[in-house]
Amino acid sequence: MSKYKRNTDKKGDQYESTPKILDQILNELNPEKHILFEPFYGSGYSTNYMKAKGFEVVENEYTDFFSYTTLPKIVTKKELVLVSNPPFSKKKAILAKLSELGITKFALLLPIGTVTLKYFDNYINFYNIQLILHKGRAKFLDPITHTLVKGSTSFDVAWVCANLNLSKDLLFK
C-alpha cells in the first residue's frame, strides 16, 4: 500500500492487502527467479509478508514513487517485478510512471473497471496484460491495526499483470 499523507477525500486509498489477496500473485511468482519491488510501502505489512514468503523485496519506505527517475539498482540475475496495491485514486499517474521508468513486469491490484478505461488502452497494446480476478468482494486491512476492515469494497479488484507469463491470461482465485 502507498505511503502518503492521509487524504480524507480518498478514504479508499487507506487500506492494505490481506494475505489471501497477496497470495494470489505471490503463488504465481518464484522467489528463486523474481525480486519484488514494492514502491507503495504503507505500514510495511505487505513488504514484510512478501519477505516471510521467501521473496527478496526492494523497499520504498522513504521515497515517493513519483520522484524516481530510474529504477532501483539491484545486483542480481533475478527479474525485477513491481508488486503493489497502490492508491487507487492515483492509478492513471502510476501507470504513466511505470512506462516512464521502463518497468515492464508488474502486478498491480486495481479496481477491475480500470481495464475498461480509455487510458488503459495504451497499456493493453504495449504490455502482455494478464488478470488474476479475486472471487467475491475483496476485504482489506486497516493500515494501523492490521485488522480486517468491516464490510467489503463496493467494487471488484484484480491483479493487473504485465509480462509475467502466467499459466493463463485470466485466472480466477
Which residue, 60, 56, 58, 59, is CA-closest to 33? 56
> What is the full per-residue pLDDT of the chain (173 aa) written as tens digits?
443 333 333 445 667 899 999 999 999 999 999 999 999 888 889 999 999 999 999 987 667 888 888 887 777 889 999 999 999 889 999 999 999 999 999 999 999 999 999 988 888 878 899 999 988 888 888 888 888 888 777 789 999 999 999 999 999 99
Q: What are the extents of the domains in the chain?
A: 11-172
Let me know if domain 11-172 sits in CATH 3.40.50.150: yes
The three state secondary structure string of the chain is: CCCCCCCCCCHHHHCEECHHHHHHHHCCCCCCCEEEEECCCCCCHHHHHHHHCCCEEEECCCCCHHHCCCCCCCCCCCEEEEEECCCHHHHHHHHHHHHHHCCCCEEEEEEHHHHHCHHHHHHHHHCCEEEEECCCCCCEECCCCCCECCCCCCCCEEEEEECCCCCCCEEEC
* pTM of the complete model: 0.88
Grid coordinates given for 170: 485470466
